[in-house]
Amino acid sequence: MPVPIAIIVCEGDIETIAHIAKALQHKLPVIIMKGSGMAADLVVDYLENKNVLCKKASISLGIRFDDSKYKELKKHLKTIGKAKELVGVFDLDQDDPAMLSHIVGEAVVSCWSLQDILHTYTDDGVGIQQHEEISLSSDHSHTETNGNTTKGSSLAWKLLRRNFVSPEEQIIHQVLEGFKESRPYVLNPQYSSPTSLPLYFYFGYQLLQELDLTEECGPVLLLEALKANRCDYVRVLLDQGVKLKMINLPELYEQTVSCQKCKFKRKDCLHMQWILKQIQETQAKKLCHEYRSMMRKRIKHGNPQEAKYIVDELTELSVSVADAARGLCRKMLRYKEYSNEYTTSETSQTSDGNLKDTNMSDILLWAIFANRKELAEICWLRGENHLLTGLVCSAILRKLSKKANNVKEQLLSIDLEKHSKLFEQRCIGIMDSMYEEDSQHAIDLMDDEAVVWGIHSSPLTFAYENFMYDVVAHTCSQKYMNMQWYKNLAPDLTPFLLSAIRKPKNFFTAPLTKYMFNYILFFAVLIMYSSFVLTSIGDKYYSQLILARVFEYTVYFWGAGDFIEEIISCFGCLEKRGRSHRGYYSRMKRYIYDFWNVVDLLSYLLLIVALFIRHFHPSETFTLARRMYALSLLVMYLRFLEVFLIHRKLGPTLIMIKEMLKDLLRFLYIAVFVVFGVGIYYHANLWPDHQAMWSGGWTNWRIWTIIYYPYWQLYGDLNLEELNGSNQTDCTSNPKEWESDFSKTRCPQEDWTVYAIVAIYMLFSNILLVNLVIAMFSYTFERVQENSEKLWRFERYTVINDYDWRIPSPINLVFLPYRLFRYLAKHDCCLPQCKKICIVEKKKKEKKKREKNEAYQRSLQRIIALRNHSKL
């Protein structure tokens, strides 16, 4: 083997620069330590910008130049500039110390690959000079060496013939055996350093290319390149058609994602392994732990039969590792696995049915869990369904970032968040470019359903479910939403209404029509409900007015139908086309987190309570029932405000109110403790030793007196006469009277400390707390105003998506049996006659699916993704 030699330059003078020039003329690589000063920094500055030589020569070297010395210096620097591909630079201030060995190895490889460095000899002693020029750069390797290298002409081949006395076939067998069965010894840490990796790739790549075995034996090179995060090697090997063997996938996870310093069961590790364990312990254990124990068994067993058994175990583990990674992905995003005979399988099977090579998506998912940004981009560009895959990657990284933040891994959390935004920006770039290239296909792409790691969804649906506001607010998304909102009719109100005559089917099934009709009925129900609450709750008037009973039962009838629609919205069980394939728990959680859905459920609950009180707890005056009906009506009026959410101007205002309510709740968490503390102080000193705290009815509990004064003081009602004890009217100081009759008020005692606490409390509450909540409101207003268009478009999609399948109440009760029939047919729970209808309908759907030009859309995605990448 030729001995790799490199010259490392620190500081130095003009003689050092001359020495560098002579070394480069002899084809010796030079590593310059940038930041060491003097000659080293002067050379680096010259290579970056030749025009600074006059300014920095004297300053860097600390000498005065005459014309002859300056010409000599310039001559040497020109020589260095001509051979700058052999110069490596290591920045002492910024580069990681571990990078030095990589820079040295790359410099040696670049020297060997470009110049004549070795003379080997044939059997008859005739010298043969090496002229092969091979580079492992991604720009040249694929075009210059693919099938054009003459066997026996490369440096790697000549080194083998020089160091082995065996016949050629035996040399090939001995060398390639390591690539097929195990790691070559050159990568063993006992015999190598990080510098060995570039040399190993250089020789191994040359040898495999000449023998035309790159695809067969290249997986070892690819595995080591992935573990070492060498993106240049990975690009070249993938371009040559090399695929990672499935059996190597557990090792890849174990050596990159797993933590090497602790066992899996310990709970004090803040590594990615621990973060994944918080999501799903069983699946994380397969990714990070089982391979290590299995390899220990493999080393112990020397028996060939036992070794074969361990290899079979590794093959089984590799499949489970791939499944565990996908399952972990779905667990994080709360999707259930989608399996359908019509969808493309994501297995890693080859044409002969053997589990041999991994899918590119498996490597991409590993790169996401390992947070390898460049490798993730390389795999993503070579995958399929770029838009949906990129959105899924972004969502996974965002979830991992939140989990890392929960375990106080701030730096890792920030890095994962940046990686997530990077994928989201790539997807937005694809949408921008596709819309400019072919707007119609870009719009159709937003509803192009696909399966990524068992997650079945479309780009727009997935972005909405994972709160990707920029994607939902994009022009492509909005164009698709408009088509859906107007049912491909004219996107303006007046021509849309006129289309009721020309295209009645589209008009009456359009979400906009159902939306308007729903709120017209809702408004009519509000009028009926208001009339009933104002006039006819008591039996005397109720029995006399038939119209009152009509109004009451119309409200019940409408409420039942609307409640059914909310149940369908929550669980998605009867939807014509479900939002996604998420589990019921995830859908219910998302439904509850929506403010307007909470208001809806509250109105239903109050109406049911009022109904039961009126009919099962009657009284002469119906006071309690009237209160509950009125409260239910109040919530329904607040609920009606949702109709303005679709309006471009009023919609952002409602969003601001909703966000400010969150700020108000945070303020109340602080205020409630202050109010209770001050109220207890007031009560303890104004009414000392008050024993009857919880006596009488709940309206006479003393807790209300404790809260009363400090709460109203927040709004400026001081009540100073009561607090200083001077107001003795309508009260009694006789303990027997107020203890026996709870309707009588106890007179307060005078205490000057209460006045002092009032002064401090008013200063703290009115000046500090109230102004604090005002400042919070101002910040929320500015934040929402800045992103008002984006937030409004997101909320608008919620309405459009709901009314795509929703039927206004109470008309929906008429169609309920048909929808139940469709649901049973879809889940094969019906009679054979129904199944036949279902099969015919499914074939029609599949035919429409095949008619879509999905291949063109996905090819266009790849072209756009590669074009955007090349621009960067």
User: Tens digit of pLDDT for each residue in 494-522?
Assistant: 888 888 888 888 888 899 999 999 999 99
pLDDT for res 859: 80
pLDDT higher than 80, residue 672? yes
Q: Is residue 354's pLDDT more than 50?
A: no
Mean pLDDT across 315-336: 83
Contact 813, 826 (CB under 8 A): no
Q: Are strands 455-457 and 119-121 parallel, antiparallel or unpaired?
A: unpaired
The 10 Å Cβ neighbour count of residue 515 is 19
Map residue 536 onto helix, strand or coil. Answer: coil
Q: DSSP characters for 226-291?
A: HHTT-HHHHHHHHHTT---BGGGHHHHHHHHTS-SSS-TT-S---SHHHHHHHH-HHHHHHHHTHH
Q: Is the pLDDT of residue 131 over 80?
A: no
Distance between CA atoms of 319 and 314, rounded to whole angstroms?
A: 9
Inform me whether the pLDDT recorded for 255 exceeds 70.
yes
Judge contact between 717 and 724, C-beta under 8 A. no
Which tens digit of pLDDT belongs to each residue from 685-700? 988 888 778 877 787 7
For residues 695 and 787, give the distance between their C-alpha atoms in angstroms, rounded to a whole number.
53
Q: Are 315 and 355 in contact (CB under 8 A)?
A: yes
Q: Are strands 455-457 and 450-452 parallel, antiparallel or unpaired?
A: antiparallel
Q: What average pLDDT is seen over the chain?
A: 77
Q: Is 160 helix (H, G, I), strand (E, B) or coil?
A: helix
pLDDT of residue 317: 72
For residue 489, pLDDT over 70 is answered with: yes
**Residue 127's pLDDT is what?**
34
371: tokens are: 């947070």
For residue 833, what are the CA distances in angstroms to 108, 574, 749, 822? 75, 20, 84, 13
Q: Return the structure tokens found at 850.
A: 């095949």
**Count of residues making up the chain:** 872
Q: Any idea which of 109-113, 618-622, 753-757 has the lowest mean pLDDT? A: 109-113
pLDDT digits 0-9 by tens, 581-627? 676 777 788 888 888 889 999 999 999 999 888 888 777 778 888 99
Q: Is the pLDDT of residue 561 over 60?
A: yes
pLDDT at 573: 66
Determine the pLDDT at residue 297. Answer: 59
Q: What is the pLDDT of residue 158?
A: 59
Is residue 511 a contact partner of residue 805, using CB atoms and an 8 Å limit? no
What's the average model confidence in pLDDT over 256-279? Answer: 66
Conformational region of residue 250, where left means phi above 0, alpha means psi within -120 to 50, and beta covers everything else: alpha
Long-range contact set of residues 275-281: C-beta below 8 Å, sequence gap at least 24: 275/400, 275/403, 275/404, 275/407, 275/409, 275/412, 276/328, 276/369, 278/403, 278/406, 278/407, 279/328, 279/331, 279/332, 279/403, 280/327, 280/328, 280/331
Q: Could you read off the pLDDT of 759-795 as tens digits, one per residue?
A: 999 998 888 888 888 899 999 888 888 888 899 999 9
* CA-based nearest residue to 177, from 212, 150, 224, 213: 213
Specify the pairing of strand 119-121 against strand 87-91. Answer: unpaired
Residue with token string 């000659």: 39
Instruction: Give the pLDDT score at 539.
Output: 67
The whole-number pLDDT of residue 831 equals 47
- pLDDT the model gives residue 608: 93
Tell me, what's the pLDDT at 416? 92
Predicted pLDDT of residue 154: 59
The amino acid present at 698, given as its one-letter code, is W
Per-residue pLDDT band at 460 (split at 50, 70, 90): very high
Lowest mean per-residue pLDDT among 236-250, 304-318, 324-338, 599-613 = 304-318
Alpha carbon distance 811, 809 (integer Å): 5
Q: In whole angstroms, what is the distance from residue 362 CA to residue 389 CA? A: 12
pLDDT tens column, 164-189: 555 555 556 665 665 655 454 445 54
Cα separation, 709 vs 599, whole angstroms: 30
Chain position carrying tokens 């039942």: 560
Other beta carbons within 10 Å of 745: 13
Q: What pLDDT shows up at residue 64?
A: 67
Q: What pLDDT is stored for residue 192 in this prediction? A: 53
User: Is the CB of residue 98 less than 8 Å from the CB of residue 112?
Assistant: no
Which is more confident, 537 or 811? 811
- The two tokens of residue 48 are 């970056």
Q: Which residues contact 412 (CB under 8 A, 6 or more apart)?
A: 272, 275, 371, 404
pLDDT band at 744 (very low <50, low <70, confident <90, very high): confident
Instruction: Estimate to the nearest angstrom the gap between the alpha carbon of 845 and the chain centroid.
Output: 31
Is residue 148 scored above 50 in pLDDT? no
Phi-psi category of residue 64: left, alpha or beta, with phi > 0 → left and psi -120 to 50 → alpha:
beta
Q: Could you give the 3-state DSSP secondary structure of residue 342? A: coil
Sheet order of strands, 30-34 included: 7-9, 30-34, 87-91
Does residue 816 have a pLDDT over 90?
A: no
Instruction: Report which DSSP code applies to 2.
Output: P
Q: Lowest mean pLDDT of 125-129, 240-244, 618-622, name the range.
A: 125-129
Full DSSP string of 434-456: HHHH-HHHHHHHTT--EEETTEE
* Nearest-10 crossing angle of helices 281-288, 249-256: 100
Asked if 203 and 136 count as a contact pair (C-beta separation under 8 A), the reply is no
- Residue 757: phi and psi, rounded to 5, are -70, -35
Query: Over pLDDT 90: what percentage of the chain?
Result: 19
Distances (CA, A) of 16 to 11, 32, 545, 641, 761: 9, 11, 110, 80, 77
The token duo for 83 is 């051979």
Helix (H, G, I), strand (E, B) or coil at 192: coil
Asked if 435 and 476 count as a contact pair (C-beta separation under 8 A), the reply is yes
Q: Inform me whether the pLDDT recorded for 47 exceeds 70.
A: yes
**30-34 and 7-9 as β-strands: parallel, antiparallel, unpaired?**
parallel
pLDDT of residue 717: 84
338-347, 397-406, 685-694, 704-713: which has the minimum mean pLDDT? 338-347
Phi and psi, residue 866, nearest 5°: -65, -35
Residue 643 contacts residue 741 (beta carbons within 8 Å): no
Say which residues have a Cβ less than 8 Å from residue 713's Cβ, sequence separation at least 6.
719, 758, 761, 762, 765, 766
Q: Phi and psi at residue 383, in whole multiples of 5°? A: -95, -160
- DSSP 3-state helix, strand, coil percentages of the chain (rounded to 5)? 70, 5, 30
H or E, element range at 33:
strand 30-34
| Nearest-angstrom CA–CA distance, 739 and 746 | 9
Spatial separation of the C-alpha atoms in residues 103 and 106, rounded to whole Å: 5
The rounded radius of gyration (Å) of the Cα atoms in the chain is 38
Query: Which pLDDT does position 222 carry in this prediction?
Result: 86
- Model-level pTM? 0.80
DSSP three-state, residue 798:
helix
- Which pLDDT belongs to residue 240? 84
Q: Amino acid identity, residue 447?
A: D
What crossing angle do the helices spanning 650-686 and 788-803 adopt, rounded to 10°? 100
Under 8 Å between Cβ of 17 and 80:
yes
Q: CB under 8 Å to 340, separation ≥6 — which residues?
A: 451, 456
